[in-house]
Amino acid sequence: MRPLSGVTVVALEQAVAGPYATRQLADLGARVIKVERPGGGDFARAYDSRAGGMSSHFVWANRGKESLTCDLKHPRGMAVLRALLERADVFVQNLAPGATRRLGLDAASLREAWPRLIVCDISGYGQGGPYETAKAYDLLVQSEAGLLSVTGTPEQMAKAGIAVSDIAGGMYAYSSVLAALLERGRTGEGSHLDVSLFEATVEWMGFPLYYAYDGAAPPPRAGAAHATIYPYGPFTAGDGKTVMLSVQNEREWQGFCTRFLGRPDLAEHPDFRGNAQRDRHRDTLGPLIAARFAELTGDEAVALLARIPVASARVNSVHEVWRHPQLAARQRWHRVGTPVGPLPALAPPGPTGAAPRMDPVPDVGEHTDAVLAELGFSAEEITGLRQEGAV
């Protein structure tokens, strides 16, 4: 028995934020019925073909779901969706702003029809306010939330290498649905969740926002180094490997100076006593640290830092992450079925009880006939729905 066994989620979703949220629910045992457009389905299916012929985004965010194709502009297609919602516990959607309202699927209408239904709307900026109808793709939200202003180098801003805003919104939707299920267990009533990618990203911007509170200077863009803690960033070893070093407190600084740099005199030097002073004089301190790294290989540097101990990490490529020994030792990689054959998939973080649910990634409309039959449609009726283009 998994935590969400018996919970049915109907997902009118596309791209990343909605699918990522519902995949977390599926991982915990919920039945997730993904409603897709007849034909191409979720447009994220066509983002690329790097995962054995499938979209990398789609494989990542859509395992463990059932796919039902349904044309919501067709009256009979809408009737199918409403029949699904009548049996559902949760409805998650991240369509374009205003789309569900035009379809009569807004939270007020749905909750009037089904008071126990939990309705989770995921949008760029939330409902109400001057940005309500603005299109909000991940990079646009990163920009609007100020993330790009603190990411990159002094000369050039940079986006995060992953879909930070989509993931943030998806995770807040996921946790909000879990909370709403607990609340419904006490009250018997569903609820409406209004999750904004913008607000989720701004929440994650808490440190730079408070650092720049009341007009103070914001954290500078510092590339791969920490903007305000030093030394905390990348250094190149003599063999060309990059090591990420992190000195977090004065005890570590003392050990680092004595046992790594071989310069105990630097530990109490007034220019480097305390993080604020080290940060202020990083242009002087940086070359001293860089010179010592140049005398060692990357592996030697990591081993020496571990003995002090001072935290460090190798700067791995994505190919090295596939082979990471920690993931192998903890048996985190599993295999999931897909329309192009089995692919590796990372077990969901956290749960340690029941075996992780690692069900297949669905093909477009793979479960349409089965779901319709479950709703009471006969084979002849299903054929008719297909001929009309309703599903």
Contact 361, 337 (CB under 8 A): yes
Q: Which of 163, 186, 199 is nearest to 57 (CA)?
A: 163
Which ranges of 256-323 would DSSP assign to H, the alpha helix?
275-280, 282-294, 298-307, 318-322
180, containing H or E segment: helix 164-187
- Catalytic choice (27, 138, 166, 279): 166
Residue 368 — φ and ψ, nearest 5°? -55, -50
Q: Is 214 a catalytic residue?
A: no
Contact 180, 188 (CB under 8 A): no
Total number of residues shown for the chain: 391
Number of neighbours of residue 163 by Cβ within 10 angstroms: 23
CA–CA distances in Å: residue 258 to residues 234, 261, 272: 20, 6, 14
Active site residues: 166
